[in-house]
Amino acid sequence: MSQGKKRKNSGRVTLADVAKLAGVGSMTVSRALRTPDLVSTGLREKIDAAVAQLGYLPNKAAGALASSQSDIVAVILPSLTEFATNEIVLALKSVLEPAGYQLIFTASNYDSQEEEKQVRALLQHSPAALILPGTAHTSQTLKYIENISLPVVELSALTLTPVHINVGVDHHASAYQLTKFLYMKGYRHIGFIGAYTNFGRFAMRLAGWQKAMIDHDMASHRLVLGLSEVSFSVGAELLMDTLARWPDLDAVICSHSELAAGLILEANKQGVKVPEQLAIATFEDPNLCNTLQPSLTTVDIPYADVGTQAAEALLQALIAGNRDKVVKSLGFRVKTRAST
Amino acid sequence: MSQGKKRKNSGRVTLADVAKLAGVGSMTVSRALRTPDLVSTGLREKIDAAVAQLGYLPNKAAGALASSQSDIVAVILPSLTEFATNEIVLALKSVLEPAGYQLIFTASNYDSQEEEKQVRALLQHSPAALILPGTAHTSQTLKYIENISLPVVELSALTLTPVHINVGVDHHASAYQLTKFLYMKGYRHIGFIGAYTNFGRFAMRLAGWQKAMIDHDMASHRLVLGLSEVSFSVGAELLMDTLARWPDLDAVICSHSELAAGLILEANKQGVKVPEQLAIATFEDPNLCNTLQPSLTTVDIPYADVGTQAAEALLQALIAGNRDKVVKSLGFRVKTRAST
DNA sequence: AATTGTGCTGATTGCGCTATCAGATAGCTC
DNA sequence: GAGCTATCTGATAGCGCAATCAGCACAATT
């Protein structure tokens, strides 16, 4: 019974088993599976039959080790629960999975320390590429990704110092445009409410709003609320208090759709007329914003495009094997709805 | 320059590099990293220093090959865009990631052929466990997962023939209860609208509704619509036509929240009173259903619990190394809101 | 003093695969 | 038919790690 072996094999069917059954060398089986054109028809058929008969499944860990390349693409997202996430994930998958890549997702929860941990964990799987948010990284994270010779994609936010591929939207400009849009509509007392948990975007949008306020001589009418949490109810609780404190206020920009939704629901309940008494505008989630009554004016951000373009640029880099810097800034547009 | 080597090494820092720098054997480094208690303090400190200095990251592919076990947990979800998905993903992550597992997600899109492909692809990464929907599998898929000696979790739907761990909600019973609830409220002409894309759940809920209709002598008042697609607009388009064809209809159960939402929005637009003229009830998404006006009566399904309990049962199986069958049926309850 | 542990350490081997190179065979040129 | 290329095949040698086992020092036991 004891085979005198030092090591038990894992029990799985291996390349060698297939080779033996097909009566060929294992190298030929390996070729038949990866580059069938290099194997003669006769052998290929025998091998295919053997593979089917044994139900052979290649062991990718072994393949990755031997060839020092894998089909894993590691993706770090800021959060798993946001509208944008879903769009981006679907887009990435639709491009990268057909090309034979496996995606691994994790979330940093807008915490750069957590991101660093995730990067460390993911790099141990020697992925073919790394996709992560375009927001602030720790110096250790930067060290990891700069030392490593694999394509890196920074997503969603445009960076000043892109590592390699950077696809995103200029959040500063979008907030600027939204503010300007409200100004054109005649609003003069435009507040900004956001959550700084969302580190990158909050700051950029805030800055964009601020610049627009100054450029349009509204600098004296400033309300900024920085929250530590985002939800319908936080938005709802805010409304009456904010109106009481800033009676001049005629419009509000929310950094998150959920906040804006909370405001609207509460306004309906309290009899505050939107947009007559208060205009509300926000970013991103068209589904939610359309469902609400009145519907919400937003800056539509094409997150699906962010994902698609990022994936395509990545695929090119993967195929070409180059590390050329690619920066793509995607458009956005203010989508006027009933709330302004 | 040429080293006469047959094979270039990958350029990454390896265990051996750390060992050389620390002046110890590579096996000791391996131990220091995985089972520090078995290494003396002096060497451990030297090794830690060397690891830090070199920025060493273990190569998990090599580790997986050598030990024939990996830290990857492969998860197949029916869809990435559903409410339930998000809840489940978060719950799985919160239990399994702290335990040191890496999750890989893919989606089968309610297609068992696609599921089979995904299973094949995922098994090549020799995962530590496989999590997949508890709905119908192809015979090939069953062959894969039955032959394989790894923990399998079937999620969300209860199965008649669980492979190993099965955590879910009895969709049949939930539809039955919801129908009964409407009956108690006085409704007698209760229709059912669903999408059969969602193979498992649709059939089970339909059956539950049907049973309840028969049990409560409403068998003669039956409307069933089986759709091939789900969205707000499909729901909206349906409303007037359905009312015209089934003038008796006083209540509708929708298999998907989105359909119900579409119906409500259209009812508001057309002046159809909910619930006076038509009651509407559905399943699952409390966020959406609460936001709507009138708010939607639903069967609340504790998807977060599904995820948590599945992950915990899995963790136990992983630690104990057993393959005991575990079946957990989670509760649900009818959440009455304004729409009924 | 001889024996048996006990705790650490490292040499060796192999996990299952692919890169590399050396043959083998067939097809072609002159 | 010699010489050459083009095409195919397989033997071998790692990839980086962990399982295994042997060795060694030192403490504990008799």
Could you report the per-residue pLDDT of B92-133, keeping only the tens digit for each?
A: 999 999 999 999 889 888 889 999 999 999 999 999 999 999
Q: Give percent of chain A with pLDDT exceeding 70.
A: 96
Judged against a pLDDT cut of 90, whether residue B48 lies above it is answered with yes
What integer pLDDT is reported at residue B32 of this predicted model? 96
**Which one of A58, A103, A293 has the shortest CB-CB distance to B124?**
A58
pLDDT at B5 over 60: no
Cα distance between residue B98 and residue B308, in whole Å: 13
Decide if B253 contacts B190 (C-beta within 8 A). Answer: yes
A-B Cβ pairs (cutoff 8 Å, strict): 104
pLDDT bin (cut points 50, 70, 90) of residue B141 is very high
Higher pLDDT pick, A188 / A219: A188
pLDDT at res. B1: 35
Of A106, A126, A232, the CB nearest to B61: A126
pLDDT, position B284: 83
Q: Determine the pLDDT at residue B3.
A: 39
Interval B168-194: pLDDT, tens: 988 899 999 999 999 999 999 999 998
- Interatomic separation, CA of residue A3 and C1' of nucleotide C12, rounded (Å): 18
One-letter amino acid identity for B42?
A: G
Q: Domains along chain B?
A: 15-58 (no CATH), 70-169+304-331 (3.40.50.2300), 171-300 (3.40.50.2300)
Q: Chain A residues with CB inside 8 Å of B123's CB?
A: 57
Of how many residues is chain A composed? Answer: 340
Among B55, B68, B90, beta carbon nearest to A10: B68
Confidence of residue A154 (pLDDT cuts 50, 70, 90): very high
Residue A141 region, left (φ>0) first, then alpha (ψ -120 to 50), else beta? alpha
pLDDT at A220 over 50: yes
* Structure-model confidence comparison of residues A204 and B67, the more confident one: B67
Binding-face residues of B in 53-72 toward A, CB within 8 A: 55, 57-62, 64-65, 68, 70, 72
Element (H, E) at A261: helix A257-270
Provide the 10 A C-beta neighbour count for residue A66: 12
Range list of H helices, chain B:
15-22, 26-34, 41-54, 60-67, 83-96, 112-123, 139-147, 171-184, 199-215, 232-245, 257-270, 286-291, 303-320
For residues A138 and A117, give the distance between their C-alpha atoms in angstroms, rounded to a whole number.
10
Statement: the CB of A8 is under 7 Å from strand D: yes
With an 8 Å Cβ cutoff, are B232 and A292 in contact?
A: no
Is the pLDDT at A201 greater than 90, yes or no? no
pLDDT in tens, A58-92: 999 999 999 988 999 999 998 888 778 888 999 99
Mean pLDDT estimate for chain B = 88
User: What are B265-307's pLDDT values in tens digits?
Assistant: 889 889 899 889 999 999 988 777 877 778 889 998 888 999 9
pLDDT level of residue B9 (50, 70, 90 thresholds): low
Return the pLDDT at A148.
Answer: 77
* Contact flag A62-B59 (C-beta cutoff 8 Å): no
Q: A150-155 contacts: CB < 8 A, separation 24 or more? A: A151/A314, A151/A317, A151/A318, A151/A323, A153/A129, A153/A310, A153/A313, A153/A314, A155/A88, A155/A131, A155/A306, A155/A307, A155/A310
How close does chain A come to B39, measured CA to CA in Å?
23
Q: Is the pLDDT of residue A142 over 70?
A: yes
Min Cα separation A172/chain B (Å): 29
Residue A292 in contact with partner chain B when CB distance is under 8 A:
yes
Give me the pLDDT at residue A57, please: 94
Query: CA neighbours within 13 Å on the CB side: how many for A254?
Result: 32
Residue A311: CB partners within 8 Å, gap ≥ 6?
A: A91, A92, A94, A95, A96
What pLDDT does residue A3 have?
39
CA of A315 to C1' of C27 (A): 39
Kindly state the average pLDDT of the residues B16-24: 94
* Helix or strand holding residue A188 (H, E): none
The gap from C-alpha A82 to its chain's centroid, in whole angstroms, comes to 10
| Mean pLDDT for the stretch of residues B323-339 | 89
CB atoms within 10 A of CB A83: 19
Output the average pLDDT for chain A. 88
Looking at residue B268, its pLDDT comes to 85
Among A213, A265, A221, A258, smallest CA distance to A239 is for A265
Q: How confident is the model over B221-263, as pLDDT tens digits?
A: 677 787 877 888 888 888 998 898 888 899 999 988 888 988 9
Per-residue flag: A59 CB under 7 A of strand D: no
Residue pLDDT, tens place only, A98-132? 999 999 889 888 889 999 999 999 999 999 999 99
CA triplet B223, B226, B229: central angle to 5 degrees? 140
Of B93, B123, B268, the CB nearest to A57: B123
Contact B122 A102 (CB under 8 A): yes
- Check residue B161 and give its pLDDT: 86
* Nearest-CA residue relative to C1' of D14: B7
